[in-house]
Chains A and B, each alone.
Chain A
Amino acid sequence: MPPTKQAPTRQAITLKGSTNLVTEFFKYAANTILFQRGVYPADDFHMVKKYGQTVLVTQDLALENYLEKILKQVNKWLLTGSVTQLVLAIISKDSRVTMERWVFDVNLVKQPTESAEPAPIKPETEIQAEIRNILKQIVSTVTFLPVIDEPTVFNILAYTSESADVPADEWVDTDPLAIEASKSQQVKLRSFSTDVHRIEAMVAYRYEG
């Protein structure tokens, strides 16, 4: 098949599809993290089937709407390639100290040179399997992540390029809520990629001593 003719149309479709996939992944990953780390009471979550397994999604309407708004904007940024990283920071409610940072890198998959045949399309099932693995891994992190007893809140940070189109009244610049290097431990988690995007996950947590 003539690669030049078909490749562009295929890419156009997959960009949007890929961003939707990625945004959806963020939504479920965020929900899973919020549930696992106890940021919101466990009763608020109910199970849905997604990616071939049950994931927990919040029933709290306020939280759902909040995430929806954020992810809508992230979706837009993904389409234009403006966002490079998404961070879900879990901070203690009282002391505003960052306890954990869940970092998701967004990279664009390098397009192969047009000389060879276009890269084989990644089947949906494979992508789903990769996402499933990440979510399972997030759940498993509870084994080594330090126990958080105090009430926490979360913040979602988006690292965008300067040129990104940012709705000024909705998004503000803030500090990255970083954990000091001396107290931070990092664990790199699995990643997944579609034909267009590559998402890498990592968790950095505060570890004293």
Chain B
Amino acid sequence: MSYAPKTPARHQRSRSEAKTPLTPSLITGLNSFSLATPAKSRGDTTNPFISSSKHMSSSRPVGRPVSSGRPKSCSRPSSPAKRPSSGGINVTHTLQRQASAGVIRKGGIESRMDVVTRDYVPPPKPEVRRSKSQPSRDTRDRFITTRDTTEDLTAKLDFLTLNPQGASPGHTARLAAATGVSLNSRVLSYHEPPPSASSDLLSEQRELVRPLYARPGSLPTSTSSSSNKSRKISSQPERVLDAPGILDDFYLNLLSWSSLNVLAVALEGSTYMWKAESGDVVHLGDAPEGSYVSSVDFSNDGQFLGVGIGSGEVELWDLETQTKLRTMTGHSTQVACLSWNKHILSSGCGDGSIWHHDVRLARHKVGELTGHQGEVCGLKWREDGELLASGGNDNVVNVWDGRIGDVAPGTRGTARWTKRNHTAAVKAIAWCPWQPSLLASGGGTNDATVHIWNTTTGARLHSLVTPSQITSLQWSPHKKEFLTTHGYPTNAVMIHAYPSLERVAEIRDAHDSRVLWSAIGPGGDVVVTGAGDENLKFWRVWDVPKERKSKAKEFKEGGRGSTKSGILAIR
């Protein structure tokens, strides 16, 4: 009584939870037993646990030598060992009845017992044991109801705990033998929980994102499908370059591949050149302090690089000497796109204006085009310099007359065509190399549609809906196909046939984030894509056709061979 009551620990060790009153090993031992009928059916008297009070009081385990006086002896004093008639079988029977795990309830005696509905009552402490009349359970755990010690259930429960110290050795030994379970048994489980059911997280994500970007015809679970019947396009990049610090901004244009096979990349504030032949990386220069590079574009001959700065300047760099030739100021905000037309560098500004810079003149600004309400994010001259196409954040595609300087100063050029079909920002603009009047434009997240225009007539020839925002467009110089790069939610690179608009290939998750930029190599066979995941991936999507091999052979070989070699990081 002087002891603070506590749930007895079985097996001389504390358990974190003592949910089941019974020794688990015992229980399983019982489980493995086939249900044996009791040898004798004496009714309740079979039950060795039911002890008359006489027995109880007469046998107190106080003086047990084995018990170390810990308040945890948990077996009943009136063990069957003292009984003349009870044997192992009875023990088994009653134990089975009491086993709270996995025991089929048959009819009969045990069906009267519903073990679960009773609270567990720990066996009484030896000191507490008195005759029945005594409130022997006072000092127990609070949640334990006071119970008559002679009550069936508790008696049985008490009995079941295999505490070798509390019980008589003979009894426990017989118990153990009967149940076939060794005395000292532990239930162990591995400390880590099992791995959760791995679901395909990516496709799950896509499923969740789907309602936001629902597109007809988008395939829910296709992974990179890469093969056409006629040709296979590898869904793995030929090479990957590291582009640390590249800005994950949809509106910028940070990649340009020159005709001399040099790739320019703008990494936040610095511009780097990667020579495809040798694989060398050259740090070209930095943007002025506090600003960043917002666009890069090589001149047609590949000798000069125009760099647009976030603060509105346009720099001109010479590649031979790797020096900055001039800085052309005037724009009010970031220059997100650039396009060269011989000696004219056109720049699209965040305020929606497009300026023409004649890089040879001191007064470089030779023309201004205002046709956009929103930031100009796509700008492309046609190869012959006749037309200039621009796309803006105002969802408008403008096609401008390319003649500059003939217009009287003061007159603002107006666009030849203004197309408002897109419902999102138009960053992807590309002129078709084999049919000069064709212009392809692609819309952003809300739109995800490619429109193909005839710029002579102004007609919209084709429209192709894609599953995700279109970030750039590249026509193939050799095949009648064009490539689109995408952002949300597929991060894909897709190749479409023209004019059938059949999907030739789709490389889903080409990057870990939105594929924002692309540039086609001078050979027309490799396309580099860049994304905010700081990777530049080179994809060999088109083969240079055999007839032209002889012409393009040395060029291609130089180009091809070089793309395979070289170091793998831009620093």
A residues bordering B, Cβ < 8 Å?
Answer: 39-41, 43-44, 60, 62-63, 66, 69-70, 73, 84-85, 87, 101, 103, 105, 151, 153-164, 166, 169-176, 178-182, 184-186, 200, 202, 204
Contact = CB atoms under 8 A, between A and B. Distances in A.
A153 B181 contact: no
A70 B187 CA distance: 14
A169 B191 CA distance: 7
Contact of B32 (A60, A69, A185, A200): A200
A170 B198 CA distance: 23
Contact of A101 (B102, B182, B194): B102
B143 interface: no
A77 B13 CA distance: 21
B321 interface: no
Interface stretch (B18-26, B280-288, B302-310, B350-358): B18-26
Given A39-B197, A44-B198, A63-B194, A171 B27 contact: no
A41 B195 CA distance: 12
B186 A173 contact: yes
A161 B32 CA distance: 16
B101 interface: yes
Contacts of B115: 180-182
Interface of B: 11, 13, 15-20, 24-25, 27-28, 31-32, 99-105, 114-116, 181-200
B31 A153 contact: no
A87 B194 CA distance: 14
A63 B193 CA distance: 10
A180 B184 CA distance: 24
A182 B20 CA distance: 14
B184 A162 contact: yes
A175 B24 contact: yes
Nearest to B183: A162
Of listed B103, B185, B186, residue having the most chain A CB within 10 A:
B186
A85 B99 CA distance: 17
Given A172-B189, A173-B186, A180-B116, A186 B196 contact: no
B197 A66 contact: no
A103 B28 contact: yes
A106 B189 CA distance: 16
A54 B507 CA distance: 34
Given A153-B197, A173-B188, A179-B101, 5 more contacts: A84-B185, A103-B31, A103-B32, A161-B184, A170-B190
Contacts of B116: 180-182
A163 B200 CA distance: 43
A175 B28 contact: no
25 contacts: A41-B199, A44-B197, A66-B195, A84-B28, A84-B182, A101-B101, A103-B28, A103-B32, A105-B28, A160-B188, A162-B185, A169-B191, A172-B188, A173-B13, A173-B15, A173-B186, A173-B187, A174-B188, A175-B15, A175-B17, A175-B24, A178-B20, A178-B27, A181-B101, A186-B31
A196 to B, nearest CB: 18
Contact of B103 (A66, A85, A181): A181
Contacts of B15: 173, 175
Contacts of A185: 104
Given A85-B28, A181-B102, A159 B185 contact: yes
A107 B118 CA distance: 33
A153 B194 contact: yes
Of listed A43, A87, A162, A171, residue having the most chain B CB within 10 A:
A162
A62 B198 contact: yes
Contacts of B193: 153, 155
A153 B196 contact: yes
B16 A179 contact: no
B92 to A, nearest CB: 16
Contacts of B13: 173
Contacts of B181: 84
B198 A60 contact: yes
A71 to B, nearest CB: 10
Contact of B105 (A43, A151, A159, A181): A181
A89 to B, nearest CB: 9
B186 A164 contact: yes
Contacts of A171: 188-191
B3 to A, nearest CB: 24
B105 A182 contact: yes
A133 B18 CA distance: 37
B102 A69 contact: no
Nearest to B17: A175
Contacts of A159: 24-25, 28, 185-188
B243 to A, nearest CB: 30
A154 B194 contact: yes
Nearest to B186: A160
Contacts of B185: 84, 159-162
A91 to B, nearest CB: 10
A84 B185 CA distance: 9
A176 B188 contact: no
B191 A172 contact: yes
B153 to A, nearest CB: 13
A161 B186 contact: yes
A70 B192 CA distance: 10
Contact of B198 (A40, A166, A200): A40
Contacts of A170: 190-191
Contacts of A158: 187-189
B195 A157 contact: no
B103 A155 contact: no
